């Protein structure tokens, strides 16, 4: 009976994973826009991280806003627009954050707050509420109204749920592993590697690094094996899920080693 229950649970996890994968964004082609090559994207993402933490937005809001931002600039011809300047980039960035808050935050109407407190100076009005709402619509149209994506944070929570179930890990242990993994995800979100990986891969390897630090890498190996199914393999082949996977893992590990795992241990 216990065996039947476990098989049913594995089937449920695989089904959930496939659903998450279906809403996972494609990898960004960084060559599609020079904004990925200079410091523009990095500076805007750092700003999104700062605003999300300062305003106590959820981690999901942060990762979704970055996903929307990356998707938008990857399909836009912004550099061909003579009016593109820092103020316009600020408007685009806040437009992406505002769209994410509408989907993830309880108080979902931040348009006036963003306009008054973030985009404009106290004695200098640069943008109006109408400007921000029009930018939101511009972003939505360019993305064909697709803003619901499975982010790296979604996959992190999913992997942790799976690990907790099959290894009966204590809540405090899961919380510590989550915090460490999340910090790694944020710390490397401006790296080229983040842009070159699927969200599911990025979350997987960050969580794997957390388990490696406590000598429990086998947990992630087990998770990978549990999730393998015929349906998933077909999806992987279709989306080229494993392209350069070994190279990505090796480069990711090296990238983290360069940072000397500067995060505080638990």
pLDDT, tens only, 116-132: 999 998 778 889 999 99
Mean pLDDT throughout 51-61?
96
The predicted structure's pLDDT at residue 81: 64
Rounded distance between C-alpha atoms, residue 128 and residue 184, angstroms: 37
Residue 238 C-alpha from the chain's centroid = 22
The predicted structure's pLDDT at residue 124: 80
What would the two tokens of residue 47 be?
């700003």
More confident position, 136 or 263: 136
The predicted structure's pLDDT at residue 196: 85
State what percent of residues in the chain have pLDDT above 70.
83
Is residue 239 over pLDDT 60? no
Q: pLDDT-based confidence at 265, cuts 50/70/90?
A: very low
Q: Are the C-beta atoms of 161 and 178 separated by less than 8 Å?
A: no
The predicted structure's pLDDT at residue 49: 96
Phi and psi based region of residue 209 (left: phi greater than 0; alpha: psi -120 to 50; beta: remaining): alpha
- Summarize the chain as % helix, strand, coil (round to 5): 70, 0, 25
How many CB atoms within 10 Å of residue 219?
21
Output phi, psi for 188, to 5 deg.
Answer: -110, 15
Rounded distance between C-alpha atoms, residue 219 and residue 112, angstroms: 46
The rounded mean pLDDT for the chain is 84
Model's pTM, two decimal places?
0.83
Is residue 18 over pLDDT 80? yes
Q: pLDDT-based confidence at 54, cuts 50/70/90?
A: very high
Q: pLDDT-based confidence at 193, cuts 50/70/90?
A: confident
Task: Please give the C-alpha separations between residue 244 and each of 29, 36, 87, 247, in angstroms, as whole numbers.
Answer: 15, 21, 38, 5
State what percent of residues in the chain have pLDDT above 90.
53
């Amino acid at each position: 009976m216990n065996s039947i229950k476990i098989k049913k649970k594995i089937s449920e996890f695989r089904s959930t994973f496939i659903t998450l994968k279906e809403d996972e964004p494609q990898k960004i082609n960084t060559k599609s826009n020079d904004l990925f090559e200079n410091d523009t994207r990095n500076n805007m993402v750092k700003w999104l991280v700062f605003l999300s933490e300062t305003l106590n937005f959820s981690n999901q809001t942060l990762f979704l806003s970055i996903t929307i931002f990356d998707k938008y600039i990857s399909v836009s011809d912004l550099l061909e627009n003579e009016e593109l300047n820092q103020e316009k980039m600020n408007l685009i960035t806040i437009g992406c954050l505002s769209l994410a808050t509408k989907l993830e935050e309880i108080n979902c109407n931040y348009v006036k707050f963003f306009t008054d407190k973030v985009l404009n100076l106290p004695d200098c009005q640069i943008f109006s509420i109408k400007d921000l709402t029009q930018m939101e619509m511009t972003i939505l149209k360019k993305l064909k109204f697709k803003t619901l994506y499975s982010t790296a944070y979604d996959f992190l929570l999913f992997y942790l749920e799976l690990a907790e179930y099959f290894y009966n890990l204590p809540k405090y242990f899961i919380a510590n592993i989550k915090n460490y993994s999340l910090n790694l995800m944020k710390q490397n979100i401006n790296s080229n590697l983040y842009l070159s990986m699927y969200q599911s891969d990025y979350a997987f390897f960050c969580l794997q690094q957390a388990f490696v630090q406590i000598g429990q890498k086998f947990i992630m190996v087990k998770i990978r094996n549990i999730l393998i199914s015929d349906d998933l393999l077909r999806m992987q082949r279709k989306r080229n899920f494993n392209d350069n996977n070994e190279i990505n893992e090796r480069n990711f590990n090296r990238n983290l080693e360069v940072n000397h795992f500067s995060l505080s241990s638990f």
